[in-house]
Amino acid sequence: MKEDSLVIHEIYASIQGESTFAGLPCTFVRTTGCNLRCTWCDTPQAFHGGTRMARGEVLAAALAKGTPLVELTGGEPLLQPAVFPLMGELCDAGKTVLVETSGEADVSLVDPRVHKIMDLKAPGSGESHRNRWSNLEHISSRDEIKFVLADRTDYEWMRAVVRERNLSARTPNLLASTVFGKLAARDLVAWVLEDALPVRVQLQMHKYIWSPDATGV
Ligand code: SF4
Whether 7 contacts 33, CB under 8 Å: yes
* pLDDT confidence of residue 212: 63
Query: For 44-81, how does the pLDDT look when each residue is reduced to its tens digit (9 = 90+)?
Result: 999 999 999 999 999 999 999 999 999 999 999 999 99
d(CA 132, ligand 1 centre) in Å: 15
The pLDDT of residue 180 is 85
pLDDT tens-digit readout, 108-166:
999 999 999 999 999 999 999 999 999 999 999 999 999 999 999 999 999 999 999 99
The pLDDT of residue 214: 56
Q: Is the CB of 79 under 6 A from ligand 1?
A: no
Q: How many A from CA of 41 to the centre of ligand 1?
A: 5
Q: Cβ contacts of residue 107 below 8 Å, gap of 6+?
A: 78, 101, 116, 118, 135, 138, 139
Q: Give yes or no for residue 43 CB within 6 A of ligand 1.
A: yes
Q: What is the mean pLDDT of residues 82-104?
A: 98
Rounded distance from Cα 48 to ligand 1 centre (Å): 12
Q: What is the pLDDT of residue 69?
A: 98
What CA–CA distances, in Å, run from 71 to 29, 49, 123, 162? 6, 20, 26, 25
- Rounded mean pLDDT of 28-33? 98
- Whole-number pLDDT of residue 13: 97
Mean pLDDT of the chain: 95
Handedness of CA 121, 147, 197, 150 (dihedral sign): negative
Q: Which atom of ligand 1 is nearest to the CA of 103?
A: 1
Q: Give me the amino acid identity at 186.
A: R
Task: Give the closest residue (by CA) to ligand 1 atom 6.
Answer: 38
User: Which of 18, 28, 34 is the pocket-test mutation for ligand 1 (most atoms within 8 Å of CB)?
Assistant: 34
What span, in angstroms and rounded, lies between the C-alpha atoms of 11 and 115?
19
